[in-house]
Chain A
Amino acid sequence: MTAHTKPVSRYTTAARINHWITAVSLVLLALSGMALFHPSLYFLTYLFGGGQMTRILHPWIGVVLAVSFLGLFLRFFMLNLWNRDDTVWMKNLGSVINNKEEGLPELGKYNAGQKLVFWGQSILILLLLGSGFVLWDTYFFSYTTIDQKRLSAVVHALCAIGAILIWIVHVYAAIWVKGTMSAMTRGSVSGGWAWKHHRKWFRQEVGKS
C-alpha cells in the first residue's frame, strides 16, 4: 500500500507573488549592479538598454525590492526567530550537508539555514537600501559628503556580493532538496517532504484540519 497524504499548504498565493516580485527584482539588481561593478561585465548593461538606462533603472528596481522584501519580512519574521533547536541543527550542519538529517531535532516551518538566509538578506538589504540612497546622485547628491559617498560605494558593493552569495545558497538549496520548489510555485509540498524536513510544522498543520 502506498499511503500518500494530500499536499500540505505552505505558502499563500499572496506570499508567492510577494516572493517572486522580490526574486525577479533581486536578479535584475544583481545583473545591473554587476554591470556597473566590474568592467568585464559591463556588457550586461545592454540587457537594460545601455549604460545610462542601467544607471537610471537600478535604483528604482532597488526601491521595488526594498518594498517587496519588507512584505516578506513582515510575513515571516516571527517564524524565523532563533531557538535552541536551531543551535543544535547548526552544530550538525555537516550531517545535513551529507544528506543525513536523521536524529536532528524536529523543526518548525524553517530550519536554521533558512533562518540565516532570512536574517542575512534582511540586514544586507537594509544596508544596501541605505547606502543606495547615498549613491543615488540624481535625487540625493546634496545630502551627503563625498567621503560618505565613497564609504557607501564600498558598503554597497560588499553587501551586494554578500546578498548574491546568500542568493546562491538559497537557490541551490531549493535545487538540492527535492520537493522544495513546489512550495513557491504552487504553494504546497508533499506530506513526505513536510515530515522529513519540517516535522514539527507538519504536525501543527495536520492538527489544524
Chain B
Amino acid sequence: MASTIKRDSMESGSQRRSSRQNFETWSWLFMRLSGIVLFFLALVHFFIMHIMHDVTTTTVAFVAARWSNPLWRVFDWLLLALGLLHGTNGLRYIMDDYVRSPIKRMIVKATVYGVSGVLFFIGTLTIVTFK
C-alpha cells in the first residue's frame, strides 16, 4: 500500500497531495500500533474495574487507594490519551465517509476535535490534581 501511495504522488507531482498521503500512511500505522497497546490497556482496565470489582464499589475512596500508586495514574493517563487519539482519528474516517458537504464537514470536524481536546484537558487535570 505504501509503495502505491508513493508512486501516485510522484506521478501527480503535487506537493500538497503527497504530504496528505504521507499523513494518511502515518495515520494508518498509528491506528495499528495504538490499537495493539489499547488492546491491553482497555481490556485490563475493564477487567479490574468491572469484573474483579463491582461498579458500585469503585467509589472515591477506591480510586484514592488505587491512585496512591503513581503507576496507575500513568496507566490511566495513557489509556485516556491513546483512547482519545485513536477514537478521534477513527471518527475522522467516519466524518470523511459520511459528511460530504465541505462546509458541514468543517463544522462537524471542528466540533469533534474541540470536544476531544477539551475532554483530554479535563481528564488530564483530573488524573494530575486528584488527592
The answer on A and B forming one complex is no
